[in-house]
Structure 1
Amino acid sequence: MSTTKWVIDPSHSEIGFKVKHMMFTNVSGSFQKFDAYIETNGDNFENAKMEFTAEVDSITTGSADRDAHLLSADFFDAAEFPQLTFSATSFTKEDEGEYTLKGDLTLHGVTKPVKLDVEFGGLAKDPWGNTKTGFSITGKINRKDWGLNWNSALEAGGVLVGEEVKLAIELQFIKQ
């Protein structure tokens, strides 16, 4: 079977995350500049090759001061590590429409394996005749595993920023 290439449709994709703030609320953020592609055997996504990159300086959380702090050496150190990357090592079908995506996430100069849950949205042609596919991807990582250690103790106990980061990613691809 022939190799099929899929490129991201950035206007219908988003890379989001949430992290606890002050132990009781979530702060949401996203990356605005990113790229991804998939290579499959035909239209079968099992064992697909997937690569993803995001520009760290495109992070946004709705607060310019917080975004500037996230870009500093306290967190992402965007000047030293301008991109985060993900390279799939396996894409396994678990059930109808459900996959497990494993790969290597490189962030802040550290590469670690991650496991993500994927909901396959299916295949469809858009009104212009393009074949598209979509995925909802969720997972959790511990930011400290990538050296993002900054925190501040709270007077009442606990810390300002949670360690667990919840990922919420929506990706739409166009068949080439």
Structure 2
Amino acid sequence: MSNIKWAIDPTHSEITFKVKHLMITTVTGYFRKFDLEVETETDDFNTAKKIQFSADINSIDTGNEQRDAHLKSADFFDSEEEAHISFIGKSYKVSGDEGELSGDLTIRNITKPITLKVEYGGTIVDPYGQTKAGFTLAGKLSRKEFGLTWSAVTEAGSVVVSDEVKLNIEVQLIKQA
């Protein structure tokens, strides 16, 4: 029996990150171009054998071109050296509609383990006959652990950009024929 392949539906998915600015407000950023491949043994995602994700750093969008250019620079993601962020899933454990996805996240050629909380939204057949599955993922990481060490402090001593980055991901998968 061959594995079932699932591909991301980019028009019904979003990859966002949130970072504190001056420790008083939160800035949200998006990756506009990304890819996700999942393989399962059955329609049950507990049987996931392959979970591979990548995001195009040059598609970063925070609603401010100057900030986006800074994020793509060597101060942060250094998109000229490494154009993508990647995640390889190692284990998916589920209890009811909630679970945990653990794997290896690679940013700037630095790979670290990360665990994301997963909420399974369900599987449904859409009006076009496609089987779709929905998930919400959330987690956080220390940007400095991945070499995103740029920092600045205001005259009053406030940190400009927090170390903690919150991840919020909405994923809709399409079962491949």
Name the TM-score class by shorter chain.
over 0.9
Render the CA deviation track for 1:35-69: whole Å, top value 9, x for unaligned. Answer: 10110111111141210011100000000000000
| 1:14 counterpart residue number | 14
Matched, 1:5 2:5: yes
2:105 paired with 1:139: no
1:11-160 to 2 correspondence within 5 Å?
Answer: 11-48=11-48, 49-93=50-94, 95-160=95-160
Amino acid at match of 2:38: I
TM-score, normalising length: structure 1: 0.97
Structure 2 counterpart SS, 1:155: coil
Work out the number of aligned pairs and report it: 175
1:60-91, Cα deviation, whole Å (9 max, x unpaired): 00000000000110000000010110000001
User: By how many angstroms is 1:2 displaced?
Assistant: 4.1
Whichever residue aligns with residue 139 of structure 2, its letter is: G
Q: C-alpha distance in 2, partners of 1:31/1:16?
A: 7
For normalisation by structure 2, the TM-score amounts to: 0.97
SS at match of 1:57: helix
Runs of 4+ in 1 over 6 A off after TM superposition: none
CA contact (8 A) 1:90 1:101 kept: yes
Q: Which runs of no fewer than 5 residues in structure 2 stay unpaired?
A: none
- Alpha-carbon RMSD: 0.9
Structure 1: gaps of 5 or more residues: none
- Give the Cα separation in 1 of the matches to 2:7 and 2:75: 34
Deviations 1:13-56 (A, max 9, x none): 00001000001110000100101011011111114121001110
Which stretch shifts more, 40-49 or 16-25? Answer: 40-49
For 1:72, the aligned partner's letter is S
Distance 2:44 2:130 in 1: 17
- Deviation, structure 1 residue 158: 2.4
What is the deviation of 1:154? 1.4
Distance 1:98 1:121 in 2: 9
Query: In structure 2, what is the Cα distance between the partners aligned to 1:46 and 1:107?
Result: 27
